Structure 1
């Protein structure tokens, strides 16, 4: 039995992964733990602490599993390689060694977004959810699907508290896994949608797997293709 641990990104809790549930092949299982501060999981006392994050997530991030981190989830999963026993493999979905880079999201754009979040967190999160879906084949349909999954109406932050969201933006701005991944203790796979608006073209092109016709959120627009891609990586990462 192969286990994938699916880790969500900024502003979305683990319900985001529900569309993949019906597409896993036999012999494969997926767990979808929430990060602290998302869903029903209490926030950390210091939402920006990687040490505290590792203590909280240690039981969820088993070393015999494959960790699949999407967006900020990939950035955090890579950073936790220094804190926890290494997994069988690490998959970075829609994320590279760091978040800001030329041709993708420049530092100035993220800084402006962080300022906007400080002024109006809920409106900024709402804008981001629409914005990150620009690369999907049907952005409006993907947005409706996202809101349905996250229980739109329960609260505007979609199951995440504002302190956790703010710390996540700090991590997007400050975490750089370049050195960490250059000497990673496990195989690292990079998966990108070929139309991902958050990744520079050169990073999309050098990904180990590119998903055709999708952007940053393939779990919404092409769940079957994403599940097949992850199953293939799992097969190549067998012990």
Structure 2
């Protein structure tokens, strides 16, 4: 059976993939590790997938993993570098993430909720969750420091209305691999799950 590894983004969880999974055929076996931002971590099983799909920070998580090299991958609202620099003006200014790190130390719940609101998230953590400060902080550090250019995915889906990763940012990372989804924000997993699922199917069947 074909195996797909689905990696969620910062302040997300394995639950973020539910809508996409519901649009995939039964002969595709999906695995959704959980980075543990809101409690217990559920790491990758170690079963080598045929395709990796990274959402947002999930792209860097895939590229940083020593045992996932050489596997075809697809990006959704993703990037190979997040922060701007002198040679990468398309990214997000580092001061924004540095400010988030400081606020995370003071109030993790407000920091996460503010971020999720800014990307028009469909789900928010309920009152019972435990905020894993160590995991959240480590994720922000990766966003600040990681640069995995010029590695290219099979396909990169980007939203034309993404408030976090602009079209210019996506194209600076992925070039001709970028496909722009009209009316798409930073939550393509929830707003356009059928498009994400169909893209996965096309890659696997090709």
TM-score if structure 2 supplies the norm length? Answer: 0.84
Tell me which residue corresponds to 2:34: 34
Residue 75 of structure 2 corresponds to residue 92 of structure 1: yes
Q: Which residue of 1 aligns with 2:9?
A: 9
Q: Given the superposition, is the C-alpha separation of residues 85 and 9 from structure 1 closer, same or farther in structure 2, using an over 3 Å criterion? A: closer
- Map Cα deviations across residues 181-203 of structure 1 (whole Å, 9 max, x no partner): 27xxxx54322122212223323
How many residues align? The count is 198
CA distance in structure 2 between the partners assigned to 1:64 and 1:116 by the alignment: 37
Moved more, 164-173 or 208-217: 208-217
Pair 117,92 (structure 1): closer, same or farther in 2 beyond 3 Å: same
User: Is 1:223–2:193 an aligned residue pair?
Assistant: yes
* 8 Å Cα contact 2:54/2:76 also seen in 1: yes
Q: Provide TM-score, normalisation by structure 1.
A: 0.73
1:154 pairs with 2:128 = yes
Match for residue 119 of structure 1 among 95, 106, 118 = 106
The answer to which structure has the higher helix fraction is 1
Q: Is the 8 A contact 1:6 1:67 kept in 2?
A: yes
The runs of 5 or more residues in structure 2 that have no matched partner are: none
Number of the residue aligned with 1:176: 147
Counterpart among 108, 117, 129 of residue 95 in structure 2 = 108
CA RMSD of aligned residues (A): 2.3
* 1:65 matched residue in structure 2: 50
2: CA distance, partners of 1:75 / 1:123: 25
Structure 2 Cα separation of the partners of residues 156 and 35 of structure 1: 13
Where does residue 163 of structure 1 map in the other structure?
134
Residue 195 of structure 1 aligns to a residue in which SS?
coil
1:122–1:156 CA contact under 8 A, matched in 2? no
* CA shift for structure 1 position 36: 5.0
Gaps of 5+ in 1: 43-55, 134-142
